[in-house]
Structure 1
Amino acid sequence: MSTRDGGVSSGPHATLNLGVAVSDAPAAVAENRARFEAAMGARPVWLRQVHGSNVLHLQAGCGSHPETPADAAWTRERGIACTVQVADCLPVLFALRDGSAVAAAHAGWRGLAGGVLEATVQALCAGTGAAPAEVQAWLGPCIGPRQFEVGAEVLQAFGDDPVQPDPGRFVYRARPDGTARWLANLPALAAARLQALSVVAVTAEGACTVEDASRFFSFRRDGVTGRMAAAIWRT
């Protein structure tokens, strides 16, 4: 998982912005991506993320910039890094216990509610013959439960009743004008989805992108900002 340090971008994108669609200088992004790849020692595959649930199977010879929109990818190939970009959304990295396959998913609330984690685990298990219990998952830095204010439509997308929501997932907090709002716990929502799939080995980073401006880009905090990346690969 990258942070915002170690790159050449300036202004709101300072310094290791890895996103190409955020109004940063293309030459700076290219240099930042080259540094990211060099630090990994693997080739990242940059997805066209759309907050959906499509999962790509990355095979030998695949390009670094697939045309097909996707918010997750998996592979058995060595040296190819499943990579997702984030700036408040939740990055989820997967690996089989024996290390024979890996995957990465970009999980904002829309993708999470739309089944991106279920689709990723299904693709990983179908492609390898593994059972979900053999999958390990890591939940990376994202907007935290003290900062992620949402409306009733988000609760309803996850099947929660705005009148009596699950307090481990949503906490009511009205705005000063009385408008109903809730604080959502994105990692808890993701963990619940994974546990329902029998993925029990789940580790959460716990860091909040909004609250740590020195380490993380945050779209909710800054609006114009850069993108970080989380990647996983087989050595």
Structure 2
Amino acid sequence: MPADPAFYRPSIFEPFPGLTAAESRRTGGFSPAPYASLNLGLNTSDEAGLVARNRAHFLSSLGWHPAQLAYSHQVHGAAILTANGPVQEKGYDGLATQTPGVLLGITIADCAPVLIYDPVQQAVAALHAGWRGTAAGIAAKGVRALQSQFGCQPENCLAYVGTCISSAAYEVSEEVAAQFPPICKSPKPGLPGKWWLDLKAANALQLQQAGLRPEHIEVSPFCTWANNDLYFSHRKEEGATGRMLAVIGLQNEV
């Protein structure tokens, strides 16, 4: 467990002091139920002032300011934006940058966050991978974006596939399951046409197929459904819930 229960720092990034990478949890904020308490989602019915206060609290605990955050209104697609500054865009589910002082952020509440770092070229990416984005190959596209934009080599990259709804709780239709390889799904016993889908396995597989070494990929052991006391779950809470932030960025040189 992390020292601060309000967020989790992926261990794979710990050797790099100039990098910030973290995933928020739902605790330690100021929002009331059903958004209790660290709701960081702008597109919820929570009070905007409380969300702003929560964001400032979370980011300051990491040593950052909200004005440094780059993010996009996500659309469950696979488009990736190169963010040279703290942009606020629409229509992108991935961001990449090589600019110090810019913190990339994606919101989550069952979908998988994927964070990537290349310590050689000093470049990062943050990806929002729901089933649609995962089926569209957003993890592999994120690796390719780092290659094309910043000259990154996949074998040098490190990645974190973050907390999302786990396969034990993520039931999907046969039409959705058909878009994923067999290793990432299993039929639900006694319910023909229903499947369990493993978003973590699907994104980890994409990263490996894109050239990342298996030992360079960390996968979260947590589940938004099973660990609902720590994480928001859109499915378990039937839409009336908050959002977490997964962030990654290169700190300004002192």
TM-score, normalisation: structure 2: 0.84
**8 Å Cα contact 1:41/1:79 also seen in 2:** no
Structure 2 residue identity aligned to 1:226: G
Superposed CA deviations along residues 185-231 of structure 1, whole A, max 9, x for unmatched, are: 11111111111111122110121110012100000100210000100
1:183 corresponds to which of 179, 196, 202: 196
**8 Å Cα contact 1:79/1:233 also seen in 2:** yes
What's the counterpart of residue 163 of structure 1?
A: none
2:245 is equivalent to residue 229 of structure 1:
yes
Displacement after TM superposition at 1:99 (Å): 6.3
The DSSP-based 3-state class of the residue aligned with 1:127 is helix
Consecutive unaligned residues in structure 2, runs of 5 or more: 1-22
CA distance in 1, matches of 2:44, 2:107: 12
What's the counterpart of residue 225 of structure 2?
A: 210
Displacement after TM superposition at 1:11 (Å): 0.8
What's the counterpart of residue 148 of structure 2?
A: 126
The DSSP-based 3-state class of the residue aligned with 1:94 is strand
Displacement after TM superposition at 1:40 (Å): 2.1
1:197 corresponds to which of 210, 219, 226: 210
Displacement after TM superposition at 1:179 (Å): 4.3
1:15-30 to 2 correspondences below 5 Å = 15-30=37-52
Alignment identity in percent? Answer: 35
Displacement after TM superposition at 1:14 (Å): 0.3
CA distance in 1, matches of 2:175, 2:124: 33
Displacement after TM superposition at 1:46 (Å): 2.3
1:68-217 to 2 correspondences below 5 Å = 68-98=90-120, 100-158=122-180, 160=181, 166=182, 168-174=183-189, 178-200=191-213, 201-217=216-232
Structure 2 residue identity aligned to 1:94: I
Structure 2 residue identity aligned to 1:4: R
Structure 2 residue identity aligned to 1:55: I
Displacement after TM superposition at 1:119 (Å): 1.8
CA distance in 1, matches of 2:250, 2:34: 33
CA RMSD of aligned residues (A): 1.4
Displacement after TM superposition at 1:87 (Å): 0.3
Aligned length: 223
TM-score, normalisation: structure 1: 0.90
